[in-house]
């Protein structure tokens, strides 16, 4: 029988983290979920709490942590713009001190460590679509900088711990991901549009809605994340994980209205500052190294997510 890996997931009570914990438990690992519950919730992991191979620790990653583990997935960090801009100094500290603390732990116990980085390291990109070699166009002093620069600095620490201390690192750059367990009030576009449509409220498109994003369904993302952790020795990344299907926010709003059969109408609101105009991953590296590519089309993923929000909001159809 395969030995049980002891796996630490920081940010494990969040949207992506809780799906990752599910997957790791299903595969027979011994999982420690660490979270300060800033944007995550015990509801996301409630079904795991009685499992003897699952342990929840309420802890802030800006403080050191001493546990014995074989693998670390570092996901702790608020991810939606309203949440990460709520306390920008704390966001940067979470990214940077969190990375340093987890890298120190990885170094001490000899664990492999994966960083949940982001397409935001490319900023408002001038190169389109974005390959991993693109160095980005990030405003260092804007409202998104706490997150973008925090994540960039975390990547720097990962590589310096790797070069200086031979820490076994894996970096993935996650592009916009959506699915069940998104927080309905965290302000991200997919959850906002679906909740607004289900409540027959106005759909708030920012700017003229011509900015684009590429949306990856959560199951595809988690598959890519686990494959990255299990990838060959010496492959550090960074690797893009995302769905190359690219949509304008206006077309997303129209698609959500169609799928929910909502009576909502689209209204336009000011574009937030530094909002990237376009985003699409090049995923050739993930295909080659991880034999990974997304399998769930936007319409299918949205349908599953709509079903989740209908249940959450108690909407009977
Ligand atoms: P989320 O907000 O649902 O999850 C983040 C989790 O981290 C939450 O449970 C939160 O309580 C926890 N957390 C925040 N600060 C913490 C701290 N100081 N100590 C301990 N726990 C803390 O967001 P998510 O979408 O699940 O994102 C998870 C990770 O993936 C983040 O690092 C994010 O930057 C990255 N990412 C996500 C996306 C996406 O589209 N979902 C895209 C790019 C990158
Ligand atoms: N957006 C929008 N209406 C909303 C929420 C977001 O038009 O109610 C836009 C936002 O301006 C951005 C895109 O949708 O252009 C994606 O926003 P999100 O916050 O989900 O992610 P990010 O900007 O970090 O990619």
Q: Which pLDDT tens digit goes with each residue over 206-236? A: 999 999 999 999 999 999 999 999 999 999 9
pLDDT at 3: 75
Averaged pLDDT, 261-275: 96
Contact status, residue 283 vs residue 240, Cβ threshold 8 Å:
yes
Single pTM value for the model: 0.97
* Alpha-carbon gap, residue 306 to 289, rounded angstroms: 33
* CA 36 to centroid of ligand 1, rounded, Å: 11
Based on its alpha-carbon atoms, the radius of gyration of the chain, rounded to whole angstroms, reads 19
> Does the beta carbon of 15 lie inside 6 Å of ligand 1?
yes
Atom of ligand 1 nearest to the CA of 186: 2
Which residue from 6, 47, 14, 4 is spatially nearest to 222, judged by alpha carbons?
A: 14
Catalytic position from the list 73, 84, 97, 147: 147
Pocket test for ligand 1, best of 20, 37, 78 (most atoms within 8 A of CB): 78
Mean pLDDT of 157-173: 98
Does residue 316 carry a pLDDT above 80? no
In the predicted model, what is the mean pLDDT of residues 72-79? 98
Q: Which two tokens stand for residue 161?
A: 């711990």
Mean pLDDT of the chain: 97
Residue of 213, 242, 243 to mutate, ligand 2, most atoms within 8 A of C-beta = 213
Residue 49 has pLDDT above 60, yes or no: yes
Q: What is the mean pLDDT of residues 97-105?
A: 98
Is residue 119 a contact partner of residue 176, using CB atoms and an 8 Å limit? Answer: yes
Residue 77 Cβ inside 6 Å of ligand 1? The answer reads yes
The three-class DSSP label of residue 171 is strand
Question: Residue 211 corresponds to which tokens in the numbers above?
Answer: 């900015």
Atom 4 of ligand 1 has which residue's CA nearest to it? 14
β partners of residue 103: none
Which atom of ligand 1 is least distant from the CA of 16? 26
Annotated catalytic residue 147: yes
Burial of 295 (0-12, 13-18, 19+ CB in 10 A): exposed
């Amino acid at each position: 029988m395969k030995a049980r890996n002891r796996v630490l997931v920081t940010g494990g009570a969040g949207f992506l983290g809780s799906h990752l914990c599910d997957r790791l438990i299903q595969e027979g690992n011994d999982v420690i979920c660490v979270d300060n519950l800033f944007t995550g919730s015990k509801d996301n992991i409630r079904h795991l709490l009685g499992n003897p191979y699952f342990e929840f620790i309420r802890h802030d990653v800006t403080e050191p942590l001493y546990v014995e583990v074989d693998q670390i997935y570092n996901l702790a960090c608020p991810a939606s713009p309203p949440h990460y801009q709520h306390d920008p100094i704390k966001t940067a500290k979470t990214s940077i001190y969190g990375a340093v603390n987890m890298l120190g732990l990885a170094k001490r116990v000899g664990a492999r460590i994966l960083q949940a980085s982001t397409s935001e390291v490319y900023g408002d990109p001038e190169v389109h679509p974005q390959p991993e070699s693109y160095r980005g166009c990030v405003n260092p002093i804007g409202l998104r900088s706490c997150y973008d620069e925090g994540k960039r600095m975390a990547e720097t620490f990962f590589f310096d711990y790797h070069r200086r201390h031979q820490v076994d690192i894996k970096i993935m750059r996650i592009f916009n991901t959506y699915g069940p367990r998104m927080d309905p009030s965290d302000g991200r576009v997919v959850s906002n549009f679906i909740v607004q449509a289900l409540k027959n409220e106005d759909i708030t498109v920012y700017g003229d809605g011509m900015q684009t994003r590429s949306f990856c369904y959560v199951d595809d993302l988690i598959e890519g994340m686990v494959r990255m952790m299990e990838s060959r020795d010496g492959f550090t990344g960074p690797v893009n994980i995302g769905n190359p299907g690219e949509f304008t926010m206006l077309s997303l709003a129209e698609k959500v209205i169609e799928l929910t059969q909502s009576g909502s109408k689209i209204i336009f609101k000011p574009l937030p500052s530094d909002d990237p105009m376009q985003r699409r991953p090049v995923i050739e590296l993930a295909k080659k190294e991880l034999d990974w590519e997304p399998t769930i089309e936007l319409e299918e993923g949205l349908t599953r997510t709509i079903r989740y929000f209908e249940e959450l909001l108690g909407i009977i159809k």
